[in-house]
Amino acid sequence: MSLINNIYLKASRGFIKEIEISQSAPCDYQREWFFKLLDAGSSTSFGEEHCFNRFNFSNKREYSKKLEYFQNNVPIRDYDAFVPYIERLRRGENYVLWNQKVKWFAKSSGTSSDRSKFIPITPDSLKITHYGGFRRMLSWYVANNPDSRIFHGKALTLGGSVQIDEKGNGECYYGDLSAILLKNSPSLVEVVRTPKRETAMIADFNKKVEAICKECVNQDVTNISGVPSWNLILLNKILEYSGKENILQVWPHMELFMHGGIGFGPYRDIYKSIIPTDGMHYLENYNASEGYFAFQDDLSVDSMLLTVNNGIFYEFIPMDIFDDVISGKQKRIPTLEDVEVGVDYAVVITTCGGLWRYLIGDCVRFTSLFPHRIQITGRTQLCINAFGEELMISNAEKALVDACRECKCSVSEFTVAPVFMDSVDSKGYHKWAVEFSNLPDSIDHFAMTLDAALGRYNSDYAAKRSGDATMVRLEIASLKPGTFMKWMEKRNKVGGQNKVPRLYGDLRFVEELVQLSTEER
């Protein structure tokens, strides 16, 4: 083990010990955070509104009774329901959701009614949840790979951008979570990170990548982190700029990619082709604007260890009772103590960022207990997130309405699927199988119009399409009238309870429909 690894592990021994304990006794940490969160929330507007002062949460007794009160009296909310509280924070009101002032808001993908979400980032959530989550992941990696050389070179991060929140008093900012983390990172971190902060925060993605190529191609980069699709674009540009055939010819000590945000499966072979070494490690982590939730503690296992001591209290809604819970018919739902392996759960979080029983929209399944490891299995709403675009069914339907209106046409049925990158120099896109009841004058113009409309309703889709950075324009497969009905009949899915899958994670349905339409011509 190198001296620098030894020093780092000594400084991180608290995190390592905590992870070891959380693998065998995670519920103790969860109970502890339940009381801490409710105690802190008692001095907020939200806490007063929900009568947190009815109990003394600094007294860590009567857990079951207090949990029952919490679940009975604090409704589960999605982002839309939190908007009034968040708007008060953005206008400069303090202590609305948490007992700290909020200066930063992480801007992320849109919901059913808003083009973008603005998630409050408190000092506690920044330090305990986000930085703490990353420290846990990195400490555990080094502890299990004592000969790692990641600290002998640079960590490359793409970053994002921030701007002053126009709704506030000039003291609040919003932007990508990655940019907020960069703006607040300690000086010591900047020594081992590249590119320089100003480069990483260039707003224009293509200009950022060009600047990174110039700045980093001659550095010794040992690890990268971020979304697979974005990083693949960057690595491809590095190869183009350097004239090399693979990344190891540029950065020979590259050993770790810490990835998240979208599924890595479709990208794995491409990464292996441009980083051709068995010594390369791919480590999944579950990080979002709302919090850092899990990381891959065992690289041989295709699941992630839930982080249970980082300012978050978890609840889980079994998907078979999801509608009853959301409607208020069912109050009690499982906490970590009650979950089972193999059940799909919608995740509900209470955090030191001031999110109280917040429905994040992800579904997970526990693959093991003690340690409690999870896999992300989908979304509570229909969604495609192949490239970080988080296309929701509401976005798709609204955009389709706009495109039909502008092109003076109508659509009877449709389904959408992603087309993944199949080589280093290709880019992904969405393929729409559409059955028009009234054809547009030009399918190409309709595709262009629909693509633009999707960007208006979903800021993440617009970002991925900007300059064809990660995605190229969508493709339309126009189907013969009656194709969807014949397809549903073939699948024995005709009837009122059966619905066409509007958004799907792979091309299987689209290809079946196109083939059926071709056969019928």
Domain termination residue (choose one: 323, 346, 379): 379
Does 332 fall in a domain? yes
Same domain, yes or no: 356 and 467:
no
List Cα–Cα distances, 219 to 5, 193, 461, in angstroms.
Answer: 20, 11, 32
Cα separation, 483 vs 434, whole angstroms:
10
Residue 414 has pLDDT above 70, yes or no: yes
Between CA 373 and CA 258 the distance in angstroms is 17
Alpha helices in 222-303 (DSSP H): 228-242, 268-274
Sheet of strand 154-157: strand arrangement: 193-194, 154-157, 221-226, 256-259, 281-288, 291-295, 304-306, 373-379, 358-368, 344-351, 312-318
Tens-digit pLDDT profile for residues 72-102 = 999 999 999 999 999 999 999 999 999 999 9
The answer to whether 228 and 267 are in contact (CB under 8 A) is: yes
CATH of residue 443's domain is: 3.30.300
The 10s digit of each residue's pLDDT in 301-359 is 999 999 999 999 999 999 889 989 998 999 999 999 999 999 999 999 999 999 999 99
Q: Same structural domain for residues 256 and 288? A: yes
CA 35 to chain centre: 27
**199 Cβ partners below 8 Å, 6+ apart?**
159, 208, 211, 212, 215
Q: Does 64 map to a domain? A: yes
Token pair, residue 103, equals 């200066």
Same domain flag for 285 and 162: yes
The reply to whether 93 falls in a domain is no
Shared domain for 196 and 239, answered yes or no, is yes
| Collapsed DSSP state (helix, strand, coil) of residue 390 | coil
pLDDT digits (tens, 9 = 90+) for 394-408: 789 889 999 999 999
Asked if residue 12 belongs to a domain, the reply is yes
In a domain, 203, yes or no: yes
Domain C-terminal end among 242, 266, 295: 295
Q: How many structural domains does the chain have?
A: 3
Tokens read off for 139: 């400490």
Q: Which of 379, 396, 427 is the last residue of a domain?
A: 379
Tell me, what's the pLDDT at 264? 85
Lowest mean pLDDT among 111-115, 318-322, 375-379: 111-115
Whether residues 364 and 387 fall in one domain: no
Domain assignment present for residue 111? The answer is no
Q: pLDDT grade, residue 521 (50/70/90)?
A: low
pLDDT band at 485 (very low <50, low <70, confident <90, very high): confident
Within this chain, do residues 374 and 387 fall inside the same structural domain, yes or no?
no
| Residue-number span of the structural domain to which 413 is assigned | 383-520
Per DSSP, what are the bridge partners of residue 66?
none
Question: Residue 9 domain-assigned?
Answer: yes
Q: How confident is the model at residue 421 (pLDDT cuts 50, 70, 90)?
A: confident
- Using the predicted structure, report yes or no on whether residue 520 has a pLDDT greater than 70: no
Q: How far apart are CA 337 and CA 369, in angstroms?
A: 10
* Residue position matching structure tokens 């007063």: 48
- Kindly state whether residues 326 and 290 are assigned to the same domain: no
User: 374 with 367: CB under 8 angstroms?
Assistant: yes
Q: Taking 50 as the threshold, does the pLDDT of residue 113 lie above it? A: no
Rounded CA separation 207/177 (Å): 20
Range name among 158-162, 255-259, 265-269, 371-375 with the lowest pLDDT average: 265-269
Give me the DSSP letters along 472-483: ---EEEEPPTTH
Average pLDDT over residues 416-440: 90
Q: Taking residues 129-136, report their average pLDDT.
A: 96
- Give mean pLDDT, residues 433-453: 96
SS3 state at 407: helix
362 and 453 share one domain: no
Specify whether the CB–CB gap between 351 and 357 falls below 8 A: no
Give dist(CA 225, CA 346) in Å, integer: 26
- Among residues 401, 406, 412, 448, which one has the least CA distance to residue 429? 448
Residue scoring higher pLDDT (118 or 495) = 118
Q: What is the DSSP letter of 299?
A: T
Co-location of 429 and 483 in the same domain: yes
> What pLDDT shows up at residue 495?
55
Same structural domain, 278 and 320:
no
Q: How far is CA 45 from the centre of its chain?
A: 29
Same domain, yes or no, for 131 and 255? yes
Global pTM value: 0.82
pLDDT band at 111 (very low <50, low <70, confident <90, very high): very low
Do residues 66 and 8 share a domain? yes
Work out whether strand 116-121 and strand 391-392 pair parallel, antiparallel, or are unpaired: unpaired
Q: Stretch 22-32: mean pLDDT, rounded?
A: 97
Spatial CA neighbour of 362 closest among 328, 412, 426, 316 = 316
Q: Which two tokens stand for residue 425?
A: 């120099």
Amino acid at position 188, single letter:
L
CATH number of the domain at 212, please: 3.40.50
